[in-house]
């Protein structure tokens, strides 16, 4: 793929991260739009080049945090077994 072909914009629209300015699209049979954004987000995942995760949180803590931002339930079951455990802090030189 070439640069400047709006790939990033297309992925952001399909992932409901930004609203389309014209046209229409569907994701998993659901029309893209503000009314259906939550339903689409519950069915797909988008991993940007720079994910913007919080380095001080564990993987599970990051997943829980962002799930709650999108109105999804907190992780349950096996994910909770490690709750409260913190990974060792890295020393910064």
Q: What is the pLDDT of residues 21-65, one digit of tens each?
A: 899 999 999 999 989 999 999 899 877 677 678 889 998 898 888
User: Measuring CA to CA, how many Å separate 10 from each of 34, 37, 44, 73, 88?
Assistant: 16, 15, 15, 27, 39
Question: In the chain, what are the domain boundaries?
Answer: 1-51, 52-85
Number of continuous H segments (helices) and E segments (strands) in the chain: 4, 2
19 within 8 A of 10, measured Cβ to Cβ? no
H or E segment and range at residue 26: strand 26-27
Task: Report the C-alpha gap between 64 and 69 in whole angstroms.
Answer: 9
User: Of residues 47 and 17, which shows the higher confidence score?
Assistant: 17
Model confidence, pTM: 0.52
């Amino acid at each position: 793929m070439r640069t400047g072909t709006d790939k990033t914009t297309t992925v952001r629209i399909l992932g409901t991260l930004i609203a389309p300015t014209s046209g229409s699209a569907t994701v998993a049979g659901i029309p893209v739009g503000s009314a259906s954004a939550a339903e689409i987000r519950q069915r797909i995942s988008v991993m940007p080049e720079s994910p913007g995760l919080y380095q001080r949180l564990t993987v599970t803590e990051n997943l829980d945090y962002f799930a709650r931002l999108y109105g999804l339930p907190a992780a349950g079951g096996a994910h909770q077994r490690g709750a409260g455990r913190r990974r060792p802090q890295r020393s910064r030189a």
